[in-house]
């Protein structure tokens, strides 16, 4: 016959086992995420990046979505200039793939006749993409995934995934910089 004390202690130890299991699962999940980031940095240091777009397919959606202030642009053929500022002491990783994807929605005010995707290691900012601006309004969306590190040895690497949304109005009265209209998209990683 089992005494009440033993049954009570069995319940306590079962509850303790469940709590321990929860802690272990949390450790595995958090540890797994750290291991994935560590593997990406190790792969980058070894020069084994998987190629353009690999990061975008394997990682989750944007960490953050930011609506930037509305922009007013002149009519004509021009460009979108994307500038990304990194925190002090960090630089873009030259080995790990970063990705940038442009999209225009809400009308035909902005179109991209050339490339709308960049996927390669070590992007250089500012970047320019050909654009055509027609009278009207809409939004330009820039999805970016940038891998950046504290130093050249990639001892501490981070990945920033962000969706930047820019409301755009295109009209002939808007100022033109140097004769060509330019839509500036500036983003600072904090």
105 half-sphere exposure, CB direction, 13 A CA radius: 8
pLDDT at 13 over 60: no
User: What sign does the CA torsion over 136, 187, 49, 122 have?
Assistant: positive
130 and 159 housed in the same domain: yes
In a shared domain, residues 42 and 58: no
More confident residue, 57 or 122: 122
* 62 and 139 inside one domain: yes
Same domain (yes/no): 163, 140: yes
Query: How many domains does the chain fold into?
Result: 2
Q: What is the pLDDT of residue 175?
A: 64
Average pLDDT, the chain: 75
More confident residue, 137 or 6: 137
State how far the Cα of 72 lies from the Cα of 175, in Å rounded to an integer. 8
pTM: 0.66
Look at 190 and 176; give whichever has higher pLDDT.
190
CB 73 within 8 A of CB 123: no
Lowest mean pLDDT: which of 84-88, 140-144, 154-158, 175-179? 175-179
Residue 177: the pLDDT is 56
Q: Which domain holds residue 12?
A: 1-46
For residue 80, pLDDT beyond 70: yes
Residue range 24-60, pLDDT digits in tens: 333 333 333 333 333 344 343 333 333 334 333 333 4
Residue 46 is predicted with a pLDDT of 39
């Amino acid at each position: 016959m089992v005494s009440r004390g033993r049954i009570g202690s069995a319940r306590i130890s079962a509850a303790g086992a469940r709590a321990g299991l929860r802690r272990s699962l949390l450790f595995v999940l958090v540890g797994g995420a750290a291991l994935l980031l560590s593997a990406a940095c190790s792969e980058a240091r070894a020069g084994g990046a998987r190629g353009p777009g690999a990061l975008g397919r394997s990682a989750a959606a944007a960490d953050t979505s930011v609506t930037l202030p509305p922009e007013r642009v002149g009519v004509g053929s021009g460009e979108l200039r994307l500038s990304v500022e990194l925190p002090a002491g960090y630089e873009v990783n030259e080995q790990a793939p970063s990705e940038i994807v442009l999209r225009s929605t809400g009308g035909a005010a902005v179109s991209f006749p050339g490339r709308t995707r960049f996927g390669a290691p070590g992007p250089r900012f500012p970047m320019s993409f050909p654009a055509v601006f027609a009278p009207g309004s809409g939004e330009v969306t820039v999805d970016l995934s940038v891998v950046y590190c504290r130093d050249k040895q990639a001892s501490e690497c981070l990945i920033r995934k962000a969706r930047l949304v820019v409301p755009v109005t295109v009209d002939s009265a808007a100022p033109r910089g140097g004769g060509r209209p330019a839509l500036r998209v500036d983003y600072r990683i904090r």
